[in-house]
Amino acid sequence: MSTVTDARVEDTIPEDEHPIAPFLRMDRIPHIWCPTCGIGTVVKCFASALQESGVDVNKVSIVSGIGCTGRVAGYMKLDAFHSTHGRAIPFATGLKLGRPELLVTVFSGDGDLAGIGGNHFIHAARRRMDLLVVLVNNFIYGMTGGQNAPTTPLTARSSTMPYGNFEPPFNLPHLAASSGATYVARWTCLHIRRLTRSFKEAIGRRGFRFIEVIAPCSTLYARLNKLGTGFDLMRFYHDNSEIRHGAPTSEVDIDFQGRIICGKFVDQQKPTFLDLMHDHYGKMLGDKYVPMPPEGGWIHE
């Protein structure tokens, strides 16, 4: 079995190549995202953060669910899993527990992680599962044609709320923080440097880390709500954002075309699921406790 160990991609970039190309499956480019969709810049920031943080990319896994952001795993040159709708977090939980040395990241959309996958989201946060969860919020179901999402702001139109949305949306940083997340931040997809720095910071943290990125859906959300082009909307989000680090998450709701409170809201060190499990079994069983090795359970060969 041939195994590359401790690969640092920055050592291998040819001079004429885009700096993040080694992090992407260039044989799958062009991607499927619409012009001025915000997801691409989020991927760029994440790849830059991986590069700058110098982590061993061979030990980084990425898991996505289904939807536009659900395609991120498919473009990242990592061990990449395009799983089922809403189940990226439990799939990632299995990866992390099956090989605890992995850095496991989840990249998916608001419909996937907060809609169909909402129960998994709160439980993974509650148990402080060691996952970095990136949720790109475009306020709508993009892949299926602009249906209402659990994040669609009140009064905004979607294809299944043609008279405007009357259901109150989730405040996702608040949901994450109150469920137990150890790191919670929100940026828009034009906060390139801040978002990259936040990714880097979260890569270095442990426990359930949650980063929400507000991004425009140019094709559906912008069009259905007559908000101009995707780029207009991207700029609008950026210009109407207010950075308030440490803001109480109960105050960061997003109204239709209202202010977007960004920043790092939570950053606390707490024992993770694995810390708690090891400590507890160590106390209860003493020398009889045999933790799973970092490289996995009874891997033989």
Fill in the amino acid letter for 40.
G
Residues 6+ positions from 141 with CB-CB distance below 8 Å: 67, 111, 115, 147, 148, 149, 158
- Listed ranges 11-19, 152-160, 226-234, 290-298: which one lies at the site for other proteins (CB under 8 A): 290-298
Q: Which stretch binds other proteins (CB under 8 A): 157-165, 206-214, 229-237, 277-285?
A: 277-285
Q: Which of 13, 21, 80, 243 is in the footprint of other proteins by CB under 8 A?
A: 80
Residue 82 touches other proteins, criterion: CB under 8 A? yes
Under DSSP, the state recorded for 230 is H
Residue placing its CB nearer to other proteins in the complex, 126 or 235: 126
- The string of DSSP letters for 140-165 reads SBTTTTSB--TTPPTT--BTTBTT--
**Percent helix, percent strand, percent coil in the chain, to nearest 5:** 40, 20, 45
Q: Please state the separation of Cα 231 from the chain's center in Å.
A: 22
Point out which residues pair with 76 in neighbouring strands.
24
Whole-number Cα distances in Å, 65 to 117, 167, 203, 297 = 9, 24, 20, 26
Q: Does 102 bind other proteins (CB under 8 A)?
A: yes
Span 9-38, contacts to other proteins by CB under 8 A? 25, 27-28
| Residue 279 binds other proteins (CB under 8 A) | no
Q: Which of 94, 164, 228, 271 binds other proteins (CB under 8 A)?
A: 94
| 186 near other proteins (CB under 8 A) | no
Candidate segments 10-18, 95-103, 183-191, 200-208, binder of other proteins by CB under 8 A: 95-103
Q: Does 235 bind other proteins (CB under 8 A)?
A: no
Looking at 53, 84, 147, 178, which residue binds other proteins (CB under 8 A)?
Answer: 84
Instruction: Sort residue 261 into left (φ over 0), alpha (ψ -120 to 50) or beta.
Output: beta
The residue among 12, 143, 2, 142 whose CA lies nearest residue 77 is 12
Among 97, 140, 185, 233, contact with other proteins (rule: CB under 8 A): 97
Nearer to other proteins, 81 or 221 (CB): 81
> Cα-atom radius of gyration of the chain, to the nearest Å?
19
Task: Work out whether 226 is an interface residue with other proteins (CB under 8 A).
Answer: no
- For other proteins (CB under 8 A), the number of binding residues is 58
Interface positions with other proteins (CB under 8 A): 1-5, 7, 25, 27-28, 57-59, 61, 63, 73-74, 77-84, 86-87, 89-99, 101-102, 119-120, 123, 277, 281, 285, 288-293, 295-301
